[in-house]
Structure 1
Amino acid sequence: MTPKAVVFDIGRVLIEYDPERFYDRVIGPERRAALFGAVDLHGINLRVDRGEPLHDTVAEAVRAHPEFGQEIAMWADRWIEMASPEIPHSVRLLEALKAQGVPVLALTNFGAETFEMARRHYPFLDLFDQRYVSADLKEIKPDPGIYAALEQGSGFTAKDLLFTDDKPENIEAARQRGWRVHLFEHPQGWADCLVGHGILTKENAA
């Protein structure tokens, strides 16, 4: 049976997300390595994804590590540069699904403030019929609650859904619920998956 709705992760699926690359460019690899060795920036980001305020959480880290204060502050002040650029083929697939009338949902680990930054920078994020954002739900992938929230909110059952995400643990959590899944590694693989499920033709998945 053809899936009735398609669910997208956002980071590293529709937009690139590479904080280390950003810091390497701005402060150099050696300083970046020292920063990430001393400060759990990814842990800070996870707290924000769980719903903590971005600027307050970053400011707390600045106070705890004043020797890296300027660099830590960039996590809030220059965040959009870490989440750039868009992945053009993935965006085309989202647009093609929307044009074909296929319901498209977002299921993403994202902070409330950073998601608004992303929406302003990437208008295609408003194409989704529904968005399930971890900071709003206070649930984060791969916790079961965030998947249940999408099922309950959208009205789709597990067998109706086809989901792509770049993290195996997030994919496995969805698979265990009965969702059809695709581990995102590159846009062409996702395009081939959508064609294989009969959702898009080769022409409109190009």
Structure 2
Amino acid sequence: MTQVQAVIFDIGNVLIEWQPERYFDRVIGPEKRRAFMAEVPFFAMMNRIDEGADFADQIEDTARSHPEWAQAIRLVRDRWCDLAQPAIPHSVRLAGALRERGVPVFILSNFGAGNFPTSQAQFPFLHGFDRYYISGRMKMRKPDPAIYAAVEADCRLPPETLLFADDRDENIAAAAARGWQTHLFTTPAGWADRLVAAGLLRREEAA
């Protein structure tokens, strides 16, 4: 296996839990949440933000288009820190252990340019990476092959030396198609095992 020269982390469901259904179940109840997500193009709104649309403006436009759900929609803007949380501690420790070993760690995430700084302020560990590839800043999102090409061009590392963890099959498949080493993230323990198998961490460092 080719030696890994950089490890790339997704954020949502790898470093920070992203389960908006759970949040809305808590604040408006499961029945209303199901109606809300059936009637409001919630994930399409988030995709536009991830592709570079202004965070606050996109939420306000969606709220105005769906006045009956405007209060719930605006919670995405007003309660972002409650929505995109908590951190996944074992994954955070793995990123730190890699840095301590001198392994470059990058972020490649579908995340809005406007709300990413809010999450960085909430979670200081998000300041501890060597390179950041945030889709909203780049105006493209996974699994568009162009975003992976942009990462390669910026970091100037051969694709086969990049090890990428993401929780979505389509994002992993797009990276693998470019020759990246990949790991479909399901649990931090599985990711730890992969990092140990790649010779990047010792077992005790990955605990």
- Specify the code of the residue in structure 1 equivalent to 2:103: V
Residue in 2 that maps onto 1:13: 14
Structure 2: how far apart are the matches of 1:18 and 1:203? Answer: 30
SS at match of 2:114: helix
User: For residue 126 of structure 1, what is the aligned residue in structure 2?
Assistant: 127
Question: Helix, strand or coil for the counterpart of 2:7?
Answer: strand
Structure 2: runs of 5 or more not aligned = none
Q: Map 1:62-101 to 2 at 5 A.
A: 62-101=63-102
Give the partner amino acid of 1:52.
A
Counterparts in 2 of 1:1-206, with a 5 A limit? 1-206=2-207
* CA deviation profile, 1:92-140 (whole Å, cap 9, x unmatched): 0000001111000100000011111110001111111000000111110
1-side partners of 2:23 and 2:151: how far apart?
A: 32
Amino acid at match of 1:115: F
Letter in 1 for 2:7: V
* Superposition deviation, residue 27 in structure 1: 0.6
Partner of 1:131, secondary structure, is strand
For these two proteins, the number of residue pairs brought into alignment is 206
Extract structure 1 runs of 4+ deviating beyond 3 A: none
Instruction: Report the RMSD for the aligned CA atoms in angstroms.
Output: 0.7
2:185 maps to a residue whose letter is F
State the one-letter code of the partner of 1:152: A
The gaps in structure 1 that reach 5 residues or longer are none
